[in-house]
Amino acid sequence: MPAFASSGDLEEKQQTLEIVGDGVYALTAEGDPNVGAIEADDFLVCFEAMATPTAARQWLARLREHTDKPIRYLVLSHYHAVRVLGASAFGADVIVSHANTRALIEERGQQDWESEYGRMPRLFKDPGSIPGLTLPTLTFTDRLAIDLGGGRFLELHHLGRGHTEGDIVAWLPDERILFAGDLVEARAALYTGDAFHREWSTTTLDRVAALGARTLIGGRGPVTREVGAAIRQTRDFLEVMLREVGAAHGRGGTLKEAFDAAHAALAPRYGGWPIFEHCLPFNVSRLWDELDGVERPIIWTAERDRAVWDLLQS
C-alpha cells in the first residue's frame, strides 16, 4: 500500500513569487497550495492564509520585499485547514469569507485540522504556532467589492457550490486576473472530498469561465494564462469521476469498484500530477455519498481518513 495520503511527500517544494499585474502577487509552489496579495492605494488584501502562522510569516517576508502597506483584509477562499490556519500571522483588520465558510470552520474546523495535518504534515510548518481556529470577521453570501482606491475594485464572488459549499473567488475586472481558490487547478489533481461534483462541473465552472479571466491563479499549480485549458481540465476531471463512479454506483457495484474504475480512467492523464493518489480515495468516497443522496459532505476525521484509505488504496 502506498504511504497514507501525502504523508510520504516530505520534500521541500520550490516557491515562486510572481508579479502578475501592477501590485498583484502570486506565490505558487509546485503543486502546494497557492497564495496571493493585491495592493490597494494604501493597504493590502491577502488571499489565503497557509497552514500555519510560521508558514504564513515566510510568505509575508517575501511579500515585504515588495510592499510595506498594512494588511487590511485577509480573504479566505474556503474553510480547509491548509488554507486558513495561518490566519493569525497576517494581523489583518478584517478576515473575509463566505458565510458558509465561517459556519464550516465552526462546525468542523477542528476535525479538518486533524485530518489535514495527518494527510499533509509537510505543509504544517511549526504546527505549534497555530493558536487555534481563527474565525472570519466579515462574511457574505453572494458578492462583496473591496474599494482599492483610484477607481479600482477587487470583487469577491460566490459562484455556486463546488470544491466546498462556501467557495469564493477574487476577481480584478480591470486586469482580468482571477484568484480561483480550489475551484480551478492548473496541472494539479483535484481534491473533491468535500465537493458538490454535479454543481461544480456545470453551473459553477460555467460562471467561473464567464468572468473571462486572462490570468488565473488556481488553488494549486502554476499561474496560467491558458485559462480556458485550466477550466476544461478541472471540468474533465470531474466529469470522468462522475461517469466512472456513476456507472459503478448505478449498476449496484461497490465503492472499491468505483475507485478502481475512476483511477483507471483518470490516471493516464492526471496520474502524474501533484496529490493525485492522495486525493482519489477521498474524492470517490464523497462522490459515492453524493450519488447516494447525502447532501452535505460527511465530516472527515483522522480515523475516517485511514479507514477510507485502507479500503481503497490497498
Binding residues (CB under 5 A) for Zn ion: these are 80, 182
Residue nearest to Zn ion (CB): 80
CB of 39 or CB of 194, closer to Zn ion: 194
Contact 183, 200 (CB under 8 A): yes
Smallest distance from Zn ion to CB 64, Å: 26
Residue 80 or 125: the one with the smaller Cβ distance to Zn ion is 80
Q: Between residues 182 and 277, which has the closer beta carbon with respect to Zn ion?
A: 182
**Cβ closer to Zn ion: 40 or 55?**
55
Beta-bridge partners for 150: none
Closer of 104 and 148 to Zn ion (Cβ): 104
Shortest distance, position 81 Cβ to Zn ion, whole Å: 9
Angle ∠(102,106,112) on CA atoms, nearest 5: 100
Rounded-to-integer distance, Cα 312 and Cα 150, Å: 54
Grid cell digits, residue 303: 480515523
CB nearer to Zn ion: give 32 or 182: 182
**Assigned C-alpha cell, 278:** 492522495
CB of 79 to Zn ion, least distance (A): 8
* Cβ atoms within 10 Å, residue 133: 17
DSSP letter for 87, please.
G
Q: Between 80 and 158, whose beta carbon lies closer to Zn ion?
A: 80
Computed from CA positions of residues 136, 301, 184, 239, in that sequence, does the dihedral angle turn out positive or negative? negative
Q: Find the shortest distance in angstroms from Cβ 219 to Zn ion.
A: 6
Q: Sign of dihedral through CA atoms 310, 181, 271, 202? A: positive
Cβ 196 to Zn ion shortest distance, Å: 13
Q: Retrieve residue 59's grid coordinates.
A: 510568505
Distance CA 4, CA 308 (A): 10
| CA pair distance 214, 45, nearest whole angstrom | 20
Q: Nearer Cβ to Zn ion, position 182 or 290? A: 182
Cα–Cα distance for residue pair 79/85, rounded to 1 Å: 9
Residues 307, 301: Cα–Cα separation, whole Å: 10
Q: SS3 helix, strand, coil % of the chain, rounded to 5? A: 40, 20, 40
Which run of H or E residues covers position 268? Answer: helix 255-270
Copy the grid coordinates of residue 126: 511549526
